[in-house]
Structure 1
Amino acid sequence: MRILTQALSHILTIQNLVIKFSLRGRVLTAIRNISLDLYKGESLAIVGESGSGKSVLMKSIMGLLDKNGYIDQGQIMYNNWDLTQFNTERDWLAIRGKEVGMVTQDPMTSLNPLKTIGKQIEECVILHQSLKSKAAYIETLKLLKDVGIHDVEKRFRQYPHEFSGGMRQRIVIAIALACKPKILICDEPTTALDVTIQAQILQLLKHLQQKYELTTVYITHDLGVVAKVADRIAVMYAGDIIEIGETHEIFFNAKHPYTWALISSLPQLGSKGEQLYSIKGTPPNLFQDIKGDAFAPRNPYALKIDFVERPPFFQVSDTHYARTWLLDPLAPKVQPPEALQSFFEEGRRYAHGS
């Protein structure tokens, strides 16, 4: 796994972003004052439970928020553009596809059942690469090969229903690549696939990132999915980033109790004959103002201050930050659950090659 340094340049910067939705006369705050830097050429995974705001955060980068959603405050800076100031579809056409592309989680609904696979890719090639007829056809065949499709001339003429789920996901990836994006957002790209195909798709995305010099963002609820493909992991809870660090730091030196809970939920950490770990309670109601740490009511390690004041980010290392009062110098020393301590220790030994 590549180690990130401060020498890497920012490709996108989010500052103090707040996103709200109006629903039946009420206001839901989906993103609560998030700041995040995305580095050129990196692979970032955004992890959290359903409803934590992962997809909303990424949709805001492409201008794909639902009509009742709006950016209340903050900036999204890309190429000296503040994307929060974009108001029209014409504005977003300069970004969507050609600068920031997306691979969605359900390839069947992403593809037009009435058009051949080849024509759907070719349309994007013609629109975004300004190629015509024969050149567009050749480029389309190349893209099909790049995503692992065989017998490409035959496959060009086939329809989505003639492809398996894994092959359809490869086609969706090819369509995204046809736009020549700088940033590729992968929204739960393996959710609908079986475990074997999941591994193939993730390996393909890792290969394509290097070949096309992409900056990739994975959105997922499963830490295990991105363990081998992400350089950094940002953990989200209730519309907020509560921990961020390089992959090995999050897996083997996590500091926030919510991250501990997510790692404990991995099936690999379960014991035979024992019930798998699950996080007790439910996420907070985002229609209401949240005081303190949003995870506090579900957190067995919560301090009194967690229910009163939102914790700041405490620095663990140059690349690792966690939003938990447990890192305050005045806080009592709390150790992760016993099962995680042995997992962390084993991981650190492996990372150091001992």
Structure 2
Amino acid sequence: MGELQTKERVLSIQNLIIKFKLRGQVLTAIRDISLDLYKGKCLAIVGESGSGKSVLVKSIMGLLDKNGYIDQGQILYQNMDLAQFTTEKDWLKIRGKEIAMVTQDPMTSLNPLKTIGKQIEECVVLHQGLKGKSAYEETLKLLRDVGIHDVEKRYKQYPHEFSGGMRQRIVIAIAIACNPKILICDEPTTALDVTIQAQILQLLTNLQKKYGLTTIFITHDLGVVAKVADCIAVMYAGDIIEVGKTEEVFFDGKHPYTWALISSLPQLGTKGDQLYSIKGTPPNLFKEVKGDAFAPRNQFALEIDFVERPPFFKVSETHYARTWLLDPRAPKVELPKALQAFFEEGRRLANEK
């Protein structure tokens, strides 16, 4: 995409379709997605629960459930098509060493019977080739890097002796210990309180810079996105409906679903009024989706939205949106005043930087 093409592309997803077999039926969870990831950047993938965010990143790690499969498309990484991998032996070349993941529930990621020091050290030995004292010292360094104090003592402790936020730091340390090129963060702050969330987000930002990581950040919280992401991809019903730089999507979004997500932010609410919520429910992905999947919930929907899937319209060299409202023949729509004011204020602040 335009100026981004001057940067190094590290991962390219092309025309990906992922399906699941459930009780004799087939569910299409990912519907013909294409997406690029660029070196050193943080890409945030946002959308409601069930939009396909986690399925997408699990396919990059080879972690789809047994009833899930890639029906079509490519996942290109270092001259390999990960979509063609079929065995654990194939995935072991990639998982951890090249692409690592931080999950949203650290307790299920940690072994309750092993000290956290040993769990981190295992990754250091396996992926960095260090042994003995060198592996131990590297483990202590990693603990310090993720903000753990009194590291010699903490090395010997078990997961249950840590708080939720501290356990999440340990899981991040394990991921970093693998020395990956790409770090996937699947809603890593969901189970944490607001104060701890901010600390973890700052930690991830610092680690991205220190280790030169390329990051994919999965979230349904747009407030989180503004703090960590360089680019945003908005997902709805297994499809990417808008993609661009963070300020482009956040302050100049073009798809009505993006507008709806932003309108749901608490700061756009009016005191005494109910917070905005998106009416209706996402489509049934067991059935073929015709047109724009968001059309039945979209107050700005055109007749064609119910018939034909919109193409990606180019807004700028880095900003694309899949909505018929960008067709030159489409009528102009007037956004709610609160959303207009939010966009205008965001653009003003961006111009002042």
Q: TM-score, normalised by structure 2?
A: 0.98
In 1, Cα distance between equivalents of 2:68 and 2:137: 41
Q: What amino acid maps onto 1:167 in structure 2?
A: M
In the alignment, which residue of structure 2 is the partner of 1:96? 95
In the alignment, which residue of structure 2 is the partner of 1:202? 201
1:294-333 → structure 2 map (5 Å cutoff): 294-333=293-332
List alignment gaps of at least 5 residues for structure 2: none
Identity %: 81
Write out per-residue CA displacement over residues 332-353 of structure 1, whole angstroms, 9 at most, x where no aligned residue: 0113222100110111111111
In 1, Cα distance between equivalents of 2:46 and 2:241: 10
Deviation of 1:4 after TM superposition, in Å, equals: 6.5
1:100-111 → structure 2 map (5 Å cutoff): 100-111=99-110
Deviation of 1:228 after TM superposition, in Å, equals: 1.5
List alignment gaps of at least 5 residues for structure 1: none
Write out per-residue CA displacement over residues 123-160 of structure 1, whole angstroms, 9 at most, x where no aligned residue: 11111111111111000000000000000000000011
Please tell me whether residue 178 in structure 1 is matched to residue 148 in structure 2: no
Deviation of 1:6 after TM superposition, in Å, equals: 2.7
In the alignment, which residue of structure 1 is the partner of 2:342? 343
RMSD: 1.0
Deviation of 1:108 after TM superposition, in Å, equals: 1.1
In 1, Cα distance between equivalents of 2:319 and 2:335: 17
1:35-184 → structure 2 map (5 Å cutoff): 35-184=34-183
Deviates further, 267-276 or 300-309 = 267-276
In 2, Cα distance between equivalents of 1:336 and 1:32: 28
In 2, Cα distance between equivalents of 1:173 and 1:186: 9
Instruction: Decide whether the 8 Å contact of 2:3 with 2:317 is kept in 1.
Output: no
Deviation of 1:5 after TM superposition, in Å, equals: 3.3
Deviation of 1:205 after TM superposition, in Å, equals: 0.2
Deviation of 1:269 after TM superposition, in Å, equals: 1.2
In 1, Cα distance between equivalents of 2:56 and 2:335: 29
Q: What amino acid maps onto 2:152 in structure 1?
A: E
In 2, Cα distance between equivalents of 1:76 and 1:336: 37
In 1, Cα distance between equivalents of 2:335 and 2:167: 41
Q: What amino acid maps onto 1:214 in structure 2?
A: L
Please tell me whether residue 14 in structure 1 is matched to residue 33 in structure 2: no
Deviation of 1:272 after TM superposition, in Å, equals: 1.4
